[in-house]
Structure 1
């Protein structure tokens, strides 16, 4: 019986297949795009070497490299000979049918791969030779319709912005933040932020049906090439931004 796979996310990366492949096979480079900074990141990065099975093939004028895991997650890189500096990354996973861990609302692994694929795209397109440091907030209360976290954070109407469109936020402390909407899914937003340095912000929403009463928001900011002083300034703004945005009567804020 053939296992049914489904596409989770697919992105074009402006880099040769050999470069993208290195970012999947070298744990030090995996850190530049995968997940966020935390104590277990090194072990997670090792999974791209220790437990993944690689395969390489050529079909027509396309070179194809794949990484597969025992649980059937698969990353496929495809690059055509006539476009050697562009690589297509596709993540596929097993069907949700019969998957006991899927509640019909949110698949955590799907959401993680979606964010990671876009973080890889950003790292190679914008900061190909720089180390990454991240800031993150998890479990931020979404708030009800009259007092939404993202509205209080200054991102009013961000869901109405077309992909590629400009986003301008006025944070609760009155400071402005500008960026470009890179991608949007039903449960995620990816923003390229402009300022001291180009940074990448991923917002993941967990619906109320999954986390009552109103759902939650996770936020991960990827920064590159910043000195310690500048990074600490951004950390202070980041912490203040989300602390001031939490809806009235809520206090659940965790950072990593």
Structure 2
């Protein structure tokens, strides 16, 4: 009988959240609450949440572990006093060396967990509104982090103050929320204590000047203020990036 391939657990993301473990567990189990941190506003969001978090999971309620059917990833929630440790773990081949390779799913999990942390710590999982933009840089352009003028700030350790005038025209006076080799998150008080996540994706033959995406998360903006923000970002984005196909959150 052939030997089964050996596997190892790889931690994709691990964050401490200033909320009790029961609250974090409920936030990843209740579809209404998942809607306030997972992905971004899209017509397909409710269906995606139902597919991923309701119909294709195997929960261990007592241990607070959420397994996803058909994929090697799982959520784990650990109580740490008044705070919690949330990690996403992937069972992968023992010899795999994926840590420094861009992976859409991994970077997506990281973005969404950071959105969850913000939503729980600062907004009690309140209603948000988001703007999502994705595409490849036009000839002579650059990937979103550089195009927005965030190259230096993207290297700042989490918790550092970030003061910047973005190429979009927005002023940011927040803190560095998180970073990976491919993305960075910055809080934006001007968006109702919101969050900007900017991700650079690897170049390809069809996008040699760079490509990537941004997620703007806002809270409490009036319809007029949100509309102005959305129009300004779409105008800037369309001037610098080619439109991508309509994406899904997963």
For the aligned residue pairs, the C-alpha RMSD in angstroms reads: 2.7
Q: Which region of structure 1 is more displaced relative to structure 2, 117-126 or 188-197? A: 188-197
**8 Å contact from structure 1 (residues 105, 210) kept in 2:** no
Partner of 1:5: 9
Q: Which runs of 5+ in 2 are unaligned?
A: none
Partner of 1:35: 39
- Normalising by structure 2, what TM-score? 0.83
Alignment of 1:85-234 (within 5 A): 85-95=82-92, 105-141=101-137, 149-172=144-167, 175-208=170-203, 212-234=207-229
Counterpart CA distance in 1 for 2:76 and 2:168 is 43
Counterpart CA distance in 2 for 1:215 and 1:117 is 25
* CA deviation after TM superposition for structure 1 residue 186, in Å: 0.6
Q: Which region of structure 1 is more displaced relative to structure 2, 106-115 or 224-233? A: 224-233
- Normalising by structure 1, what TM-score? 0.81
Counterpart CA distance in 1 for 2:165 and 2:139 is 19
- Call closer, same or farther: CA 1:190–1:16 in 2, change over 3 Å: same
Partner of 1:66: 65
Counterpart CA distance in 1 for 2:182 and 2:142 is 19
**8 Å contact from structure 1 (residues 51, 69) kept in 2:** yes
Q: Which region of structure 1 is more displaced relative to structure 2, 71-80 or 229-238? A: 229-238
Across the two proteins, how many residue pairs are aligned to each other?
Answer: 238
Task: Please state whether the residue corresponding to 1:22 is helix, strand or coil.
Answer: helix
1:49 aligns with 2:54: yes
